[in-house]
Amino acid sequence: MTIQWFPGHMAKARRQVTEKLKLIDVVIELLDARLPVSSRNPMIDEIVEGKPRLILLNKADLADERVTQAWIRYFGEQGVRAVPIDALSGKGVNALPQECQTLVQEMMEKRRAKGMQDRAVRAMILGIPNVGKSSLMNRLAGRKVAQTGDRPAVTKAQQWVKVGKTLELLDTPGILWPKFEDPMVGLRLAASGAIKDEIIDFQEIAIFLVAYLRLHYPDALKERYQLDELPDNKIEILDAIGRRRGSIISGGDIDYDKVAELLIREVRGGKLGRISLERPNDTFTVEMARISLDEISPY
């Protein structure tokens, strides 16, 4: 299954971003700390080329802290500052106005040299659906200025929001890209909740999660589902989880739809602890995320 999702309003949003860019001093790129590269729209590099940029790694409270630090170093080596935040609790958010001021310091000094008065920094927030843009806007504004929801594509239009006297933010709808060249990107995005659940195969995503967690977070799997050992076979791991959680259908067979949804919901909700679904220079492959023939039960 190839996961793709590009509603019409996203194409419109891309055009609007391009049109508004001339008004912007700083681009704030909001990424999911659990999968920074997969949640980074490559089209944005083309659209905002040349503008000062700040990367915010949102949902850092759900991500593996050691992996997040590795991502901060990764982006730093590319000359882009990355800051971990949690938009829901507000952790790290208060530093954002000063971060933006620092990025435009040279521009503001040139304005002063021309006798122009200081003004608020104008920043644009960009990110894919369900990465937390609306929550960030509300946290910065100190009031509800944007609709939020635990589902993608809540924001459908642009709006300006003032943050004190030093920052003005332009919110934009989440923008995915027309085609995921790497199938792993689709799997990670679907696992994180960035793509509508109605169009994804929960069992396929659960198989990916089982394989990834077994490789990087085996203890989290064992502890959450009270498993003494983890089988090599991905189906057998789902069987074990299903039996522990009572996901059984008539005849004693495992209800794979139910156990798949259970695993995905609990990973998204942090029930297995702080988990990152992607690492710099990740060697996890799409072949590892699928079922091989020898894993299919003959019974």
Domain formed by 8-171, architecture: 3-Layer(aba) Sandwich (3.40)
Range with the lowest mean pLDDT among 48-62, 161-175, 278-292? 161-175
| pLDDT attached to residue 9 | 54
Q: Tell me the pLDDT band of 21, cut-offs 50, 70 and 90.
A: confident
Choose the most confident range, by mean pLDDT, from 40-44, 49-53, 147-151. Answer: 49-53
CATH level 3 topology of 201-292: Conserved Hypothetical Protein Ylqf; Chain: A; domain 2 (1.10.1580)
Compute the distance between CA of residue 139 and CA of residue 127 in angstroms, rounded to an integer.
16
Compute the distance between CA of residue 38 and CA of residue 172 in angstroms, rounded to an integer.
19
Across residues 231-256, what is the average pLDDT? 93
Mean pLDDT of the residues in the chain: 86
Compute the distance between CA of residue 31 and CA of residue 49 in angstroms, rounded to an integer.
18
Range with the lowest mean pLDDT among 46-60, 130-144, 154-168? 154-168
| pLDDT attached to residue 173 | 64
| pLDDT attached to residue 153 | 40
Compute the distance between CA of residue 140 and CA of residue 87 in angstroms, rounded to an integer.
9
Compute the distance between CA of residue 187 and CA of residue 35 in angstroms, rounded to an integer.
11
Across residues 146-162, what is the average pLDDT? 55
Positive or negative, the Cα torsion across 193, 194, 197, 201? negative
| pLDDT attached to residue 297 | 59
Compute the distance between CA of residue 212 and CA of residue 276 in angstroms, rounded to an integer.
10
Does residue 136 carry a pLDDT above 70? yes
Compute the distance between CA of residue 284 and CA of residue 153 in angstroms, rounded to an integer.
29
- The H-or-E segment that residue 56 falls in is strand 53-58
Across residues 8-15, what is the average pLDDT? 63
pTM of whole model > 0.85?
A: yes
Does residue 121 carry a pLDDT above 70? yes
Q: Dihedral through CA 262, CA 266, CA 269, CA 273, nearest 10?
A: 180
Across residues 34-58, what is the average pLDDT? 88
Q: Are 40 and 31 in contact (CB under 8 A)?
A: yes
Cβ-Cβ contacts under 8 Å for 5 (sequence gap 6 or more): 176, 195, 196, 199
Q: Are 214 and 48 in contact (CB under 8 A)?
A: no
Domain assignments of the chain as residue spans, ordered by start: 8-171, 201-292
pLDDT (tens digit, 9 = 90+) per residue, 194-240?
888 998 999 999 999 999 999 999 999 999 999 999 998 999 999 99
Of residues 103, 116, 120, the one with CA closest to residue 48: 103
pLDDT (tens digit, 9 = 90+) per residue, 57-81?
999 999 999 999 999 999 999 999 9
Positive or negative, the Cα torsion across 52, 102, 96, 190? positive
Positive or negative, the Cα torsion across 110, 112, 117, 122? positive
Compute the distance between CA of residue 88 and CA of residue 137 in angstroms, rounded to an integer.
10
